[in-house]
Amino acid sequence: MKDESQVKITLPDGSERFYPKGVTALEIALSISEGLARNVIAAKVNNEVWDPTRQITEDSLVKLLTWNDEDGKATFWHSSAHLLAEALEALYPGIKFGTGPSIEKGFYYDVDLGGQTISQEDFPKIEAKMLELARQKNEYIRKPISKAEAIDYFTKKGDEYKLELIDGLEDGSITLYEQGGFTDLCRGPHIPNTGFIKAAKLTNIAGAYWRNKQENKMLTRIYGITFPKQKELEEYVTLMEEAKKRDHRRLGKELELFAFSEKVGQGLPLWLPKGAMLRERLQAFLSKAQARAGYTPVVTPNIGSKELYVTSGHWEKYGKDSFQPIKTPNPGEEYLLKPMNCPHHCEIYKTSPRSYKDLPLRFSEFGTVYRYEQSGELHGLTRVRGFTQDDAHIFCRPDQVKEEFIRVIDLVLYVFKSLGFEDYSAQVSLRDPNDKVKYIGKDEDWEKAENAIVEAAAERGLKTVTELGEAAFYGPKLDFMVRDALGRKWQLGTIQVDYQMPKRFGLEYTGSDNQKHQPVMIHRAPFGSMERFIAILIENTAGQFPLWLSPDQIAILPISEKFADYAEDVFFQLQDHDIRGFVDHRDEKIGRKIRDAEVTKVPFMLIVGEKEAAEGKLSVRRKGEGDLGSMTIEEFAAFFKKEAAIA
């Protein structure tokens, strides 16, 4: 039993220990084992990440964090951002600092160089300075400070960016962190000392507007990553090299899938013939699965009246960050480029009276939407300004919500399995209970929606993580997060439960009691967007798509132009079997034709010469496997059909 001078510490396994008030996470770790204490870099105290050296003065739930924990890595990388800043201040006197957060892989710091310049050629000397400072094993010291003291410190230092940040903080909530000769405005937390950082690499340099506002000054953003072991950095560098080979922007150009044009506009991809074929195959694949699942296709315009989005609530939440309204010659009449499909589908629901017997109704659409993204945020196909959602909206009775949600989970998992997406996680995205102003609707509706998602995910055995504050403004959701070749997480599939939009649009159905009731709306998109999905697919497969999906499945290679007619005849016969490809009529040697087909990742090469033409056969080669022997056209078609079957 504890006395007044003690605190009760509950560990993740439920065990309880008693320590003197003011104990730190490091001291708790040391009481368990010296080995654990050497590896603890942060702690989660009552679900808040703390410095491991911060005193605990009340009964707490404590989880000790190491490099193997996501929160541990985030703390390590945020501390590394401070180390980068210390190195930069030593090398570039007069530099001023914006913000330096951790990101999913590493960290960055936004800096104002004051007329000085930094390029990638300077990275080695900055990295060397970081490691020199790291070897000093300087402690990260947390210092609570008054607002007046903070203003005085950064005024004397002449750092207007920190002063602007302080202006938005409340007195009593401000802390500085100091390590070695560097002091920064920071909430923390941080690792015990710089000695934990054993390997450092700066990865990129870019421009970034201060506080992400285009009217502000452009700062220099320096990206980096650090590790507790040199070996881990070497493994990361190897992974980066492989990722460059798989980069969807490079492969998209090499495989002639898509392009961008400054004249067309930033973030607006142009789909080339092969890319268009890839999209069509994906769309046909999902359309077939949706038809089996009872979805009805609909089509809506690419623009909508501004009032449509005022009614839905999207204009209030996102209007200032969207493309601005399109004005017509009629005064007061305004339209928007369609930012989402759901309001249009609500209006389709209203075109007829609905009965409880009609529900659920499942409307699907491959609808292109447009959202304004700042130019600095655009990234190949993963972040664009115009993209096509494999969107659908299910209108159902409240008693049907969980069953429909489970059916959508099954559809998403079928899509992922068919396309080889194995490295994914399911994220239950809920509203922030401490900031409900961001959301619309009654608490009871949110509770019902959240419970339906949690129960449906549990029934399907999904391993989920819960993220507070990540819900849509109208309802909670289940997001499927997929990792790309760099290990970065991207949201692809999403399923959302919405009690609010049907209410805002006045949607009704007549129940079995002959009374009017409000349906529940489920938003879902297994791909998320065609653009992002294809980007991750390119990187996961390195452009070697599943056979059924490949834009060019065969290359017919005549040995000489004497066999061009036979090659064309083979091509037309295989088209009848829904096998796509081309005839390579170039005046090149057959070895060159084979190599070129391999480079462009064509799965099958069909070589035709005198013997093949005489016997009505093909000499078949498969990429990566070589010669498969001679086959008749019908034999190859049957073989191909079996190989191209969707998993």
Residue tagged active-site, from 391, 479, 484, 584: 391
- How much is the pTM? 0.79
Residue tagged active-site, from 314, 338, 362, 371: 371
Q: What confidence score (pLDDT) does residue 647 get?
A: 58
Give tens-digit pLDDT for 467-523. 888 888 878 889 998 887 667 778 888 999 898 899 999 999 999 999 999 999 999
CB 441 within 8 A of CB 472: no
Residue tagged active-site, from 393, 407, 517, 524: 393
Cβ-count burial of 230 within 10 angstroms (0-12 exposed, 13-18 middle, 19+ buried)?
exposed
Q: Which two tokens stand for residue 23?
A: 């104990």
Quote the distance between the C-alpha of residue 207 and its chain's center.
22
Helix, strand, coil percentages (3-state) for the chain, rounded to 5, are 40, 30, 35
CB 182 within 8 A of CB 174: no
Q: Which two tokens stand for residue 643?
A: 């190989």
Burial per residue of 5-27, b for 16 or more beta-carbon CB atoms within 10 angstroms, e otherwise: eebebeeeeeeebebeeebbbbb
Q: What confidence score (pLDDT) does residue 490 get?
A: 81
442 Cβ contact partners less than 8 Å away, ≥ 6 residues apart: 499
Q: Is 342 one of the annotated active-site residues of the chain?
A: yes
Q: What confidence score (pLDDT) does residue 50 get?
A: 95
CB 220 within 8 A of CB 111: yes
Residue 530 and residue 602: Cα distance in Å, rounded?
22
Q: What confidence score (pLDDT) does residue 486 get?
A: 66
Q: Is 577 one of the annotated active-site residues of the chain?
A: no
Q: Is 517 annotated as a binding residue?
A: no
Name residues of the chain where pLDDT drops below 70: 1-2, 485-486, 647
**Helices and strands in the chain, H and E counts:** 20, 33
Quote the distance between the C-alpha of residue 128 and its chain's center.
32
Q: What confidence score (pLDDT) does residue 432 get?
A: 83
Q: What confidence score (pLDDT) does residue 2 get?
A: 62
Q: What confidence score (pLDDT) does residue 546 get?
A: 93
Q: Is 393 annotated as a binding residue?
A: yes
264 Cβ contact partners less than 8 Å away, ≥ 6 residues apart: 270
Residue tagged active-site, from 186, 342, 346, 396: 342
Q: Is 396 annotated as a binding residue?
A: no
Cβ-count burial of 50 within 10 angstroms (0-12 exposed, 13-18 middle, 19+ buried)?
buried
Q: What confidence score (pLDDT) does residue 109 get?
A: 97
Q: Which two tokens stand for residue 537?
A: 């697919």
Q: What confidence score (pLDDT) does residue 390 get?
A: 95
Q: Is 391 one of the annotated active-site residues of the chain?
A: yes
Residue 381 and residue 369: Cα distance in Å, rounded?
14
Q: What confidence score (pLDDT) does residue 474 get?
A: 79
Residue 413 and residue 422: Cα distance in Å, rounded?
10
Q: Is 477 one of the annotated active-site residues of the chain?
A: yes
